[in-house]
Amino acid sequence: GIPIRTTLDNSTTVQYAALLQQLTKKARSTVRDIDPQNDLTFLRIRSKKYEIMVAPDKEYLLIIMQNPDE
Amino acid sequence: MFQTNKPRSTSIILLNCQESACALRTWGDSRWSPARSSTASSLPRQRKRLTNSASLTAFQGSQGTDVALTSPTFPPLRRAPVIPREPADRGSTLSLPGSSRPGWVQIYRDIYKLEAGDSPPAPAPCFYGKGCSLLPARRVGLLPARSCRSRLRQAARRGGCCRRGGGRGGAEPGACCPWPRRRSRALPATPPFPPGGAAPQGAGRGAPRGLRWAVHTGTRGVCHLLLLIFLLPHRAEGSLRWMYFLWDAKHLQRPLPSRGRVWGSGRRLPVGSVTPDAPVALTTAGDAKGPWPGPPYRAGKCKKTSENLTSGKKSLKGMKTSAKKQKGKSKDKKSAKGKQTELGKKDEVDLSMAAIGHPEIFPLVFTSKTQEIFNCRVNEDVTEENCFKLIKKEDIIQDLKSRAAISDFHPFKKVVLEYPGEELLVVFDANFQYGQNFYLVASEEAKQNLLEPPETAKEKEGEIEEEKEEDRDETLEVPPYKPPVSKPWVSLGSEKEVEEESVKDTATKVKYMISRVRRKFGAPVTFSDTNASHVKDNYIECTSYQDKTFSNKILEKDMSVQMVPKVREACTQTKWTYPKNTSTQYFPRELSNEEKEESLTSEKLKDFLTSVHLSMEIALQQNEIMNAFFDDWKALAEDESSSGGKPDVSLKAYRSFTDLRYLKDRAIGCVCWHPTIYGIIAVSARERLPYEVQGNLSDKSLLQHSVILLWSFFDPINPQLILEYPEDIYCFQFNPRDPNIIAGGSINGQVVLWDISQHEEKLQHEQNDVDEMQMPAVNMPPLTQAQHSSTEPPLVRYCAISSIQYSHKKTVTAINWLPGHFEDSQTDAASESRAEICLQLVTCSPDCSVLFWDVPDAKLSEQLLSEKIKEKETLNMPLDISDILKQLDFSWKPLIKINLCESDTSTEYGPIRISLKNLRYQYKASEKMRPLNTLGAPAKESPYTEIGTSSSNNLKVLDNFSTNFFVGTEDGEIVYSDWKIDVINDSAKQVCKYSQKYTIHTEPINTLQRSPFFEDIILSVGGRNFAIWKEGITNGPILQSKCSAGRNTAGHWSLTRPGVFFIGRDDGNIEIWDLLKKTHEPSHFQSISKSAITFISPWTASAEKNFLAVSDDLGVLHVLEICQTLSDPSENEHATILDYFEREVKYLKHCEQEFQEYQELQAKTELKRSWRHRGSKQYSMTALQETKEEMEEQENADYTMFLDLEKQILTALGLVKGQEIPSSSEALSPLSPVEPVSFLFLDLFISAEHG
């Protein structure tokens, strides 16, 4: 996807956007494969350093990164 | 044998083997004359070829030359007497007297004219040529040389060659000439012909040796064929050529029915094989002249024949003599022969082998007795090879007399008696050739022949040889064709096998006979019912049962399965792709600002955000509320370990070292761990002094040698190494880069260097040795002690010492290695990594000076010096570090000297401890100065004062290097100073530019140490308290302990935990401060020694093992093991401590701010008051000089005002009531110092924070 608005720097945003879009697609297809009636609504990725929260939609993607420890 | 019409013209076939030319000679009649030698040449060519090779002697009658050969027994001849045509014409037919005996074979000779001018006879039938009427050669024995010979021999062995012809084919002794093969071989060769004219009387000695002839009589006993073989011994070659002539009796009318061929010319046919019997053969036909009687049955009948034959033989014998002479002799012999023949006929009982042509041979049986008598035992005296035995006639006669009839010679008594010679030849007949085991040779001639086999014909002329050559050619012309002829089956013993193979019935055949009474035939059959059980054998029930024969269980089964993998053939065609370098560059798509705006304002995005907004907010809130992934269990375990299990002893005693010799009544001044080798710890001893006088030690003269002792964990008794120095060492340090170099500061102000590189191996070996020894030697420490006590620890002398002049004037109290980042001015960054060698020392002393020392880099110097001392190396002068350092001895000068003195008051500090930031001193040296420094700075060239000045020029401190440092003085002050050289300042003394002084400690500082985790955190210990400072915070220490009862004598940061440090006290206790737990009191408290702690030095051996070396005043070094809780840092400890320090700093700043605010406030009020005061007194006093009273009054007024203000504030806060406020008059007292208050506040804050 093409980032519309970001608070990060451009390159990081592009990287995150590209990777997370793929991941979201995959996750969505996984959910849909398991149950065609179902759909992905939210994606939270907990990592060592921070948490990535993805809110998917048909056309847009909202990605938020948060360090919950701070 | 030959019978001519006229007796006088008896013709004999003669064979001339000696004459080269063909000669036809006739004998028996005086009119006969030897054939002219020209006859051969006159013959037609064809004829000549046939005859000349064989030197066939033809017969020539006086009137003609026709000789007829005829035989009465020859059936065809008998029927129609054969008279050759031509002889019939001429009337000179030669006829042979027939033998009455059937089967006798006569020799017929076709005599033809050889006269010159005669018309040549009709072409002779060739054997295989056209018009040949003769039988095939095979049937008549015309075999190849070898087979023919063997055939002949066979015939001889059988006793005759004519037996094949059934009953009529009886042996003809005269015609067949068997000869013993063996004997003939063994006999020596004799000259075939005696000298001419010396023809012996009775024997046909001179006869042509080679004459052999054999007769094939045909299949029905009818002699159809006549074979005459001529054997022509070749003297020169020792070989034999032979020739045969064959006639067909049926075609005797033919002018020339014979044909000669030559076979077997070559060496392979020994002469002796055929020659010896030639005369015998010729004399067989009733030769009456021989010493032996002829065959009786022939004597009469064949008289003439024998005569003829004999005469012929004679003529043969005396071939070279004249015909007349021969003729006469033959006549004489004829009579003699006749007599003899008659004699033999009367007396002989056919004991001889005359029947087979050997009348002179008498087979006899020698019994073993006889063999013994005559020394002719079989296989001993006589063998198959050596079969001859000569026995004297007298012996035989004697034997005959003595044994009479028993004698084996008895049957031959007469023969023996008549024998002319002295000795008789007895031949061992191994093959029973003649029927018995021995045979007696009864004629002298035969005896000679046997004993001396005739030689090969040596007298052959060259012409004969030529002829032979021609004949050979001719032989080659006619290849012997043998058409396959079926032969009767000859059993060779295979019938047996055939018999075995054939199937025969062996078992006897079973015969059945079924009969029926005659009357029942044709009778009607009547059936009736019967009970099956009544009649026996009427009903047989065949119940099934298990046959035991087949009840065997099959236990094993031979089965084989062949597994064949499935094979499938498939092929795939792939495209060959080759790697190639490609690259794609792309950049992410971005929206333009307008597009962004557009999308941002789009309804879709709004919808999306509104839909997503809630869930995202929830997630964020969740994270905000609590960490959902917090591991409670882990946190619980951490809490347990940190708080729950409180170990009583956090420091466990591990080792304790002391030395009675060196440490008796002495204190340990300094403790250092070996940086690399495990378990090596060094201590320096010093005079035990009361604590108060510790500061000024320089006056004391100490006579006792001071040492630094190196101990190992593995040997608690004896020190491993002793570093020697005359004075007490107050402090020392291992070079952190090269642990073999130890720098120490002595009591008299000098800096000493030791080099223990020679003992490094020992230190390490000690470890290994004891490692090995410890295992078995656990139970016997005395042994190890003895062993170790026996080895005196080596003493190491110092290798360099600084010059007294330029050293400290007082005790060196602190020494530190500086990690020298030796940077070149030209290539600054390049050499940084190279210079990771500690080259510099900083020392401080209470004489108000800090000195920087430059230790020459051993390796660098070696490199430099190695070029210089290449000549020296030939002299085997070892140059090691100590040598280099020795150059420094007593001439070693400090690089920089810093005088710590207050700039204005010129009061000097006596630094005891020093702590530099980064412990780093970088300088740039000019090219000309560098060798000076590295090579040890010779004293003359650069006096100390000059260094001070020149250093300002040449040594330039790096810009980014902080030259600030802390110094702990003996007065208990902490001085923060910057020694940065002011270039402008030309004064020789280095003056600190800027310094801050804090007086926290009441007594000399004994520890001033930076935290190993935080660069700017410094722990200072001295007197009754300690403080933690942060560099850059000028307000004072960020943490200050309250005054304790005893003195703190030592302190050290923990190496593993940022918030832990150890404080040693003079009562022998150790306080362990854990800033994470408590900041107002030590977290642990442990008693180590009875006397004061002098030094604390921790060491991390491994991740699990942390040691703390604690030395006391009694000269005992305690090595303690730090427990895990104190050594293992908890999670985020670093951050927590940092956070804590920062909080403290904040608080400190806050306090400062408050204080300043207060001061400002105070100043303001004062100002107000003064103004007021001024206003009141303005008129009375124009120029007021505030007196002391006024000042005091003002202060009091200020204080009163402050109290009022305070009262107001407190009342406003509701903390106190108005009555409780002390009156301003009561509280009128000098201001207490701020510090305790702030400390109290600090403590309150900390305790509140920690719960």
pLDDT, tens digit, 9 for 90 and up, residues B499-510? 888 888 888 888
Scanning B355-493, the segments in alpha helix (DSSP H) are 368-373, 393-403, 413-418, 444-451, 462-477
Query: Angle, nearest 10°, between helix axes B603-625 and B593-601?
Result: 80
How far is the C-alpha of A43 from the C-alpha of B177, rounded, in Å? 135
Q: Are A59 and B608 a contacting pair at CB < 8 A?
A: yes
Q: Are B615 and A41 a contacting pair at CB < 8 A?
A: yes
**pLDDT tens digit string along B803-835?**
777 777 777 878 877 765 443 333 333 333 344
* Residue of B2, B526, B56, B552 lying closest to B258 (CA atoms): B56
pLDDT at position B1177, please? Answer: 53
In a domain, A22, yes or no: yes
Q: Are B620 and A4 a contacting pair at CB < 8 A?
A: no
Q: Considering only residues 114 to 153 of chain B, which have any Cβ-Cβ distance to chain A shorter than 8 Å? A: none
pLDDT at position B270, please? Answer: 37
Judged against a pLDDT cut of 60, whether residue B197 lies above it is answered with: no
pLDDT at position B766, please? Answer: 58
Judged against a pLDDT cut of 90, whether residue B42 lies above it is answered with: no
* Interface membership of A34 toward B (CB under 8 Å): no
B596 contacts on A by Cβ (under 8 Å): 4-5
pLDDT at position B919, please? Answer: 43
Q: Are B600 and A46 a contacting pair at CB < 8 A?
A: no
Q: What is the DSSP letter of B642?
A: I
Token code pair at residue B820: 């020298």
Q: Please work out, in degrees rounded to the nearest 5, the angle formed at the alpha carbon of residue B25 by the alpha carbons of B24 and B27.
A: 155
Which range among B443-457, B682-696, B863-877 shows the weakest confidence by mean pLDDT? B863-877
Q: Please work out, in degrees rounded to the nearest 5, the angle formed at the alpha carbon of residue B455 by the alpha carbons of B454 and B458.
A: 135
pLDDT at position B1092, please? Answer: 82
CA B971: distance to chain centroid? Answer: 82
Phi, psi values for residue B787, rounded to 5°: -65, -40
- How far apart are the CA of B628 and the nearest CA of chain A, in angstroms? 9
- Annotate B265-305 with three-state secondary structure: EECCCCHHHCCCCHHHHHHCCCCCCCCCCCCHHHHCCCHHH
* Interface membership of B600 toward A (CB under 8 Å): yes
What chain B residue is nearest to A65 in terms of C-alpha separation? B620
**pLDDT tens digit string along B544-574?**
887 777 777 777 778 888 888 888 898 888 8
pLDDT at position B62, please? Answer: 35
Which has the higher per-residue pLDDT, B105 or B1145? B1145
In a domain, A28, yes or no: yes
* Interface membership of B624 toward A (CB under 8 Å): yes
- How far apart are the CA of A27 and the nearest CA of chain B, in angstroms? 17
- Cβ atoms within 10 Å of B887's Cβ, excluding its own: 16
Judged against a pLDDT cut of 70, whether residue B1246 lies above it is answered with: no
Q: Are B588 and A69 a contacting pair at CB < 8 A?
A: no
What chain B residue is nearest to A68 in terms of C-alpha separation? B623
pLDDT at position A31, please? Answer: 94
**pLDDT tens digit string along B70-107?**
333 333 333 333 344 433 333 333 333 333 333 333 33
**Helix or strand holding residue B345 (H, E):** helix B323-347
Q: Find the mean pLDDT for residues B1190-1200.
A: 85
Q: Find the mean pLDDT for residues B365-389.
A: 76
Judged against a pLDDT cut of 60, whether residue B66 lies above it is answered with: no
Which range among B71-85, B518-532, B751-765, B998-1012 shows the weakest confidence by mean pLDDT? B71-85
| Total number of residues shown for chain A | 70
pLDDT at position B124, please? Answer: 39
Taking one residue from A and the other from B, the number of pairs with CB-CB distance under 8 angstroms is 51
Gyration radius (Cα) of chain B, Å: 79
Which has the higher per-residue pLDDT, B1034 or B13? B1034
What chain B residue is nearest to A47 in terms of C-alpha separation? B629
| Total number of residues shown for chain B | 1251
Count of the separate structural domains present in chain A: 1
Which has the higher per-residue pLDDT, B894 or B648? B894
Judged against a pLDDT cut of 50, whether residue B1197 lies above it is answered with: yes
In a domain, A1, yes or no: no
* Interface membership of A69 toward B (CB under 8 Å): yes
**Are the C-beta atoms of B426 and B409 separated by less than 8 Å?**
no
Q: Which of A52, A57, A69 would best serve as a mutation to test chain B binding (most B beta carbons within 10 A)?
A: A57
**Are the C-beta atoms of A53 and B620 separated by less than 8 Å?**
yes
pLDDT at position B227, please? Answer: 54
Q: Are B620 and A64 a contacting pair at CB < 8 A?
A: yes
Q: Considering only residues 578 to 597 of chain B, which have any Cβ-Cβ distance to chain A shorter than 8 Å? A: 588-591, 596
How far is the C-alpha of B1071 from the C-alpha of B1065, rounded, in Å? 8
How far is the C-alpha of B200 from the C-alpha of B444, rounded, in Å? 12
Look up tokens 């005693």; give the residue.
B653
What chain B residue is nearest to A69 in terms of C-alpha separation? B627
pLDDT at position B784, please? Answer: 38
**Are the C-beta atoms of B750 and B801 separated by less than 8 Å?**
yes
In a domain, A42, yes or no: yes
Judged against a pLDDT cut of 90, whether residue B39 lies above it is answered with: no
Which has the higher per-residue pLDDT, B738 or B141? B738
Half-sphere exposure of B627 (CA within 13 A, CB side): 15
Q: What is the DSSP letter of B691?
A: G
Q: Are B591 and A44 a contacting pair at CB < 8 A?
A: no
pLDDT at position B85, please? Answer: 41
How far is the C-alpha of B244 from the C-alpha of B258, rounded, in Å? 9
Half-sphere exposure of B855 (CA within 13 A, CB side): 34
pLDDT band at B670 (very low <50, low <70, confident <90, very high): confident
Judged against a pLDDT cut of 70, whether residue B1234 lies above it is answered with: no
Which has the higher per-residue pLDDT, B280 or B231? B231
Q: By residue range, what is the domain housing residue A49?
A: 8-64
Q: Find the mean pLDDT for residues B288-317.
A: 39
* Interface membership of B599 toward A (CB under 8 Å): yes
In a domain, A69, yes or no: no
Which has the higher per-residue pLDDT, B1068 or B285? B1068
pLDDT at position A37, please? Answer: 92
How far is the C-alpha of B17 from the C-alpha of B866, rounded, in Å? 120
What percent of chain B shows pLDDT beyond 70?
Answer: 48
Phi, psi values for residue B1030, rounded to 5°: -120, 130
Q: Which of B596, B620, B623 sits opposite A4 (nearest CB)?
A: B596
**Helix or strand holding residue B1007 (H, E):** strand B1005-1010
**pLDDT tens digit string along B954-970?**
344 444 455 667 777 77
Phi, psi values for residue B984, rounded to 5°: -70, -35
pLDDT at position B468, please? Answer: 52
How far is the C-alpha of B356 from the C-alpha of B845, rounded, in Å? 155
What percent of chain B shows pLDDT beyond 90?
Answer: 0
**Helix or strand holding residue B148 (H, E):** helix B145-157
User: Which strands form B388-392's sheet, in the order they lie side by side?
Assistant: B361-364, B438-441, B423-428, B388-392
pLDDT at position B246, please? Answer: 54
pLDDT at position B688, please? Answer: 67
* Residue of B1246, B1247, B1030, B1235 lying closest to B1152 (CA atoms): B1235
A24 contacts on B by Cβ (under 8 Å): none
How far is the C-alpha of B910 from the C-alpha of B861, rounded, in Å? 35
pLDDT band at B172 (very low <50, low <70, confident <90, very high): very low
In a domain, A3, yes or no: no
pLDDT at position B704, please? Answer: 57
pTM beyond 0.90, yes or no = no
When mean pLDDT is compared over A23-37, B613-627, B1127-1141, the highest value belongs to: A23-37
pLDDT at position B1251, please? Answer: 41
CATH of the domain at A24: 3.30.450.30
pLDDT band at B230 (very low <50, low <70, confident <90, very high): low
Mean pLDDT of chain A: 89
Q: Are B612 and A62 a contacting pair at CB < 8 A?
A: yes
How far is the C-alpha of B611 from the C-alpha of A55, rounded, in Å? 9
Q: Find the mean pLDDT for residues B222-226.
A: 47
pLDDT at position A21, please? Answer: 92
Its ipTM equals: 0.81
CA B1134: distance to chain centroid? Answer: 61
* Residue of A5, A14, A40 lying closest to B605 (CA atoms): A5
Mean pLDDT of chain B: 61
pLDDT at position B741, please? Answer: 81
User: Which strands form B911-916's sheet, in the order they lie side by side?
Assistant: B911-916, B964-969, B973-978, B994-999
- Cβ atoms within 10 Å of B85's Cβ, excluding its own: 12
**Are the C-beta atoms of B267 and B273 separated by less than 8 Å?**
no
Which has the higher per-residue pLDDT, B27 or A15? A15
How far is the C-alpha of B866 from the C-alpha of B609, rounded, in Å? 78
Q: Which of A18, A42, A68 sits opposite B623 (nearest CB)?
A: A68
pLDDT at position B253, please? Answer: 46
Between β-strands B795-801 and B721-725, what pairing exists: parallel, antiparallel or unpaired?
parallel
* Interface membership of B616 toward A (CB under 8 Å): yes
pLDDT at position A48, please? Answer: 83
Does residue B1036 come out as left (phi exceeding 0), alpha (psi in the -120 to 50 range) or beta? left
pLDDT at position B15, please? Answer: 38
DSSP calls for B215-278: ----TTS---EEEEEEEEEETTTTEEEEEEEEEEGGGTTSS-----EEEEEETTS-GGGTSTTH
What chain B residue is nearest to A14 in terms of C-alpha separation? B588
In a domain, A59, yes or no: yes
pLDDT at position A32, please? Answer: 93
**pLDDT tens digit string along B1086-1105?**
888 888 888 888 888 777 77
CA torsion through residues B327, B329, B331, B337, sign: negative
**Helix or strand holding residue B1142 (H, E):** helix B1133-1177
Phi, psi values for residue B956, rounded to 5°: -125, 125
How far is the C-alpha of B311 from the C-alpha of B199, rounded, in Å? 12
How far is the C-alpha of B559 from the C-alpha of B568, rounded, in Å? 28
Judged against a pLDDT cut of 80, whether residue B205 lies above it is answered with: no
**Are the C-beta atoms of B185 and B270 separated by less than 8 Å?**
yes
In a domain, A18, yes or no: yes
